[in-house]
Amino acid sequence: MRRALILALFLASAPAAAQESSRMSGGPESFRADVSEHAIEVDRPLIDHDAPYIVVHLGENRVFLFDGTRSVWSAPAGTGTGFRLETEEHQWKFSTPRGLFRVQRMEKDPLWEAPDWHFIEKGAPVPPQDHPSRIMAGIMGNTAIFLGDGIAIHGTNQPGRLLNPNPEARRVSHGCIRLTNESARELMHLVDVGTPVLIF
């Protein structure tokens, strides 16, 4: 029941810009979802785009690929925890940003360049910006779809954390959107550079 309610409010919680481009003639009650399959159909596209587009629903912690008014693919996702980390010089909040983005680039077997907070969180000394210890393999899984501003939809080296059926238990990232490696690679083959990504 809770999951159905979240899905029924899918458009009601969308950003204003998305609501403008996706006004539904019948209101939220016209929203239809087959919860068991996570198939969603809306009266009008969420984004004015002539090709498939990605929707990241933070309440449901799920990534959808829409083609017009229908979702054609979806997978459970991990998103930001909302945790705060502070030092005397810096402050970080690990939330997934909301808004409209675009796929900037895609990469197989990406290397992660660890930011300062990674070392601070682990209680380790922060290395210089160009130090080799910042470059790490496997952290982003086997695929990364970069959205800019340090945010990506990517695979993971901890897939078990994404398989919990409770969406709240999948708030596990520092802001990026995590998918299993299989789902991330599949999504990469379904979209192009420039594909819109709505996160809300």
Whether 114 is covered by a domain: the verdict is yes
Whether 172 is covered by a domain: the verdict is yes
Q: Is the pLDDT at 8 greater than 90, yes or no?
A: no
Count of domains for the chain: 1
The terminus-to-terminus CA distance of the chain in angstroms comes to: 21
Give the range of the structural domain holding residue 183, as residue numbers without chain letter.
Answer: 103-191
Q: At residue 30, what are phi and psi to the nearest 5 degrees?
A: -85, -5
Distance between CA atoms of 5 and 23, rounded to whole angstroms? 19
pTM given for the model: 0.80
Nearest to 27 by CA among 7, 5, 6, 42: 42
pLDDT digit string, tens, across residues 99-130: 999 999 999 999 989 988 778 878 899 999 99
Whether 51 is covered by a domain: the verdict is no
Whether 7 is covered by a domain: the verdict is no
Whether 80 is covered by a domain: the verdict is no
Whether 70 is covered by a domain: the verdict is no
pLDDT digit string, tens, across residues 44-91: 999 999 999 999 999 999 999 999 999 999 999 999 987 676 677 777
Whether 96 is covered by a domain: the verdict is no
